[in-house]
Amino acid sequence: MTKMYAYQSIAQSVSDHGIDTMFGLMGDANLFLVDSFVRDAGGRFVPAAHEGSSVLMALAYAHVSGKVGVATVTHGPALTNCATALTEGVRGHLPIVVLAGDTPVENPRHLQSIDQRELVKATGAGFEQVRTPATASKDVARAFYRAQVERRPIVLNMPADFMWTDVTHDTQVLDVFTTPGGVAQGGILDEAIGMIASARRPIILAGGGAIAAKDQIVRLADRLEAPLATTLKAKGLFNDHPFNMDIFGTLSTPAAYDLIAKSDCIVCFGTALHDFTTDRTKLMQNKRIIQIDVDPTAIGGGLHPDAALIADAGLTADTIVWWLDEAEIPPSGFTKELDIATLTAHPVGTTRSGDGFVNYVAALERLEGTLPKNRILVTDGGRFMTEVWCRLSAPDPKSFVVTANFGAIGQGLQEAIGAGVAAPDRPVVMFTGDGGFMMGGINEFNTAVRLGLDLIVIVANDSAYGAEHIQFLDRQMDPGLTQFDWPSFAEVATSLGGTGIEVASMAQLDDAIAQLDNRQGPVLIELKLDPHDVPRMRI
């Protein structure tokens, strides 16, 4: 127990939880906390250009590193600037703690005073209050505990007038229960095993909630001779398996989509069965659905399964294998019917493009074969993203960062920075659209430059808000309001301290790829696209 100021106690409490990196933007209510975290606790502070960016960076850091992400902002507009990012974290089930300063309790008419609890509540994030300066370490511990257990952002409110109060710091860390969840048992388990045992064309589907159970799920698939598929969030989980179907749902290849339609049983681990996964339930018609998840709220949200097991994915997979062996159930033989080459190959179609433009699909196919294999793949939101999801591979789910949990654009570059900080020894490849880059990327590109990140940014520039552009065309209306005369993103990237390369032909793309071998710091490749010739979104 040590005497110190409250702001020092909060900084030390964060460090006590094993945190060595904090993202944020300093202001009146958190600047001394940040200073103490760096100078007293030996931590690293990553300054963002926008408050919402710091939250997004912490989200990607948590996803890639597996640790709790930490961000800090000051009061008033600083926290309101984080509303979209907090919602993104809630929808993505990512554990972060946001240390949010608040206006002095003694001055309720402060210019930047807002009801922080109500704002945070609207985003779906959790809220914790530093009750008194003396309880600061306990309140920090509670925020970290909740972030891990609830798998969502927790905002810790810190009144500015508490910071310079003398306190006695006491280390407080609440242990989080990390033992695997319950074992499936009872009549529902018997029914589920009966459905699986009688299936002739079973498919195993794994989502983001089942990543840790990969080995057990593969063992079950091999025992059943069933192909393996993933949701978007678990992309890359079964890359090395001979019967990997890749993404299940609207992002499936045509051959995989047809195969799913012919199956008679889908065993689903750790997925809430989103509308895009089930193609609005069309893919789940006329087949048995078994859903396994430790989170009760994940069950029955999109459709009502034939058997629902609130249980740990890995333990349940092992239990099913045991009973199949005990009953001497023969394998289905379904994998013997598969042409795996067609299941994972997306059609390319025409590779032609007009003068001054590059064909987007052809460019993606070329980039897939030439970008660094050990990459972390990050995608922004926008019209361009579904082709990237289908055509660009990621080594594993932790190396794939989706920033479209809330359907927002302009969040990709910020999360790419967080991913790069979490894994400084690996290259980060980020795809964004022109609208997304102007909204959120341009103000943080220099942050990546300052940090010296190994970052490759691909901007799909069709000089339009593409999703809206195509809707006008579909109704034979003038799309002019969706089009923009943007600046040269390549020149902007260079002026911000990086390397910018404009690509308007496949030959120029080859030249750009060649330059990547000697890259120093962030590189931006601007793909010039015809707004009338960009593939439609597949969702």
In a domain, 15, yes or no: yes
Exposure b/e, 468-504, CB count within 10 A at least 16 = b = ebbebeeeeeebeebbeebeebbebbeebebbbbbbb
- Kindly tell me if the per-residue pLDDT of 279 is higher than 90: yes
In a domain, 261, yes or no: yes
- Kindly tell me if the per-residue pLDDT of 91 is higher than 70: yes
Q: How high is the pLDDT of residue 80?
A: 98
Q: How high is the pLDDT of residue 179?
A: 61
In a domain, 284, yes or no: yes
pLDDT digits (tens, 9 = 90+) for 388-416: 999 999 999 999 999 999 999 999 999 99
188: left (phi over 0), alpha (psi -120 to 50) or beta: alpha
Q: How high is the pLDDT of residue 467?
A: 81
Report how many domains make up the chain. Answer: 3
Contacts of 14 (CB under 8 A, 6+ apart): 22, 37, 41, 43, 70, 97, 99, 140
Q: How far apart are CA 328 and CA 326, in angstroms?
A: 5
Q: How high is the pLDDT of residue 473?
A: 87
| 8 Å CB contact between 302 and 285 | no
Confidence of residue 180 (pLDDT cuts 50, 70, 90): low
More confident residue, 341 or 423: 423
Mean pLDDT, to the nearest integer, of 220-248? 96
- Kindly tell me if the per-residue pLDDT of 42 is higher than 80: yes
Residue ranges of E strands in 62-172: 69-73, 96-102, 126-129, 154-159, 166-169
Residue 518 and residue 477 share a domain = yes
In a domain, 332, yes or no: yes
Confidence of residue 379 (pLDDT cuts 50, 70, 90): very high
Mean pLDDT, to the nearest integer, of 276-287? 93
Dihedral sign from CA coordinates of 39, 40, 42, 45: negative
Mean pLDDT, to the nearest integer, of 174-203? 86
Mean pLDDT, to the nearest integer, of 240-254? 94
Mean pLDDT, to the nearest integer, of 322-327? 96
Q: What is the CATH number of the domain that holds 501?
A: 3.40.50.970
Joined tokens for residue 210? 């089942």
Residue 150 and residue 255 share a domain = no
Q: How high is the pLDDT of residue 538?
A: 75
Q: Of 119, 135, 168, which residue sits at a domain end?
A: 168
In a domain, 348, yes or no: no
Q: How far apart are CA 80 and CA 71, in angstroms?
A: 14
| 8 Å CB contact between 299 and 277 | no
Confidence of residue 106 (pLDDT cuts 50, 70, 90): confident
In a domain, 286, yes or no: yes
Q: How far apart are CA 348 and CA 395, in angstroms?
A: 22
In a domain, 536, yes or no: no
Q: What percent of the chain has pLDDT over 70?
A: 99
Q: Of 311, 343, 375, which residue sits at a domain end?
A: 343
pLDDT digits (tens, 9 = 90+) for 14-35: 999 999 999 999 999 999 999 9
Mean pLDDT, to the nearest integer, of 69-90? 98
- Kindly tell me if the per-residue pLDDT of 243 is higher than 90: yes
Q: How high is the pLDDT of residue 354?
A: 84
- Kindly tell me if the per-residue pLDDT of 350 is higher than 90: no
More confident residue, 347 or 1: 347
Q: Domain range spanning residue 142?
A: 2-168
| 8 Å CB contact between 377 and 429 | yes
Helix axes 6-16, 136-150, angle to 10 degrees: 40
Mean pLDDT of the chain: 94
Q: How high is the pLDDT of residue 532?
A: 82
Q: What is the CATH number of the domain that holds 332?
A: 3.40.50.1220
pLDDT digits (tens, 9 = 90+) for 497-524: 999 999 999 999 999 999 999 999 999 9
Q: Which segment, 100-109, 160-169, 529-538, is predicted with the most confidence on average?
A: 160-169
How many C-beta neighbours within 10 Å does residue 395 have? 16
Residue 371 and residue 320 share a domain = no
Enumerate the β-bridge partners of residue 293. Answer: 310
Q: Of 315, 343, 371, which residue sits at a domain end?
A: 343
Q: How high is the pLDDT of residue 470?
A: 84
* C-alpha 82: how far from chain center: 17
Mean pLDDT, to the nearest integer, of 273-297? 93
More confident residue, 164 or 351: 164
- Kindly tell me if the per-residue pLDDT of 61 is higher than 70: yes
Residue 249 and residue 133 share a domain = no
In a domain, 352, yes or no: no
Closest CA to 419 of 399, 439, 403, 438: 399
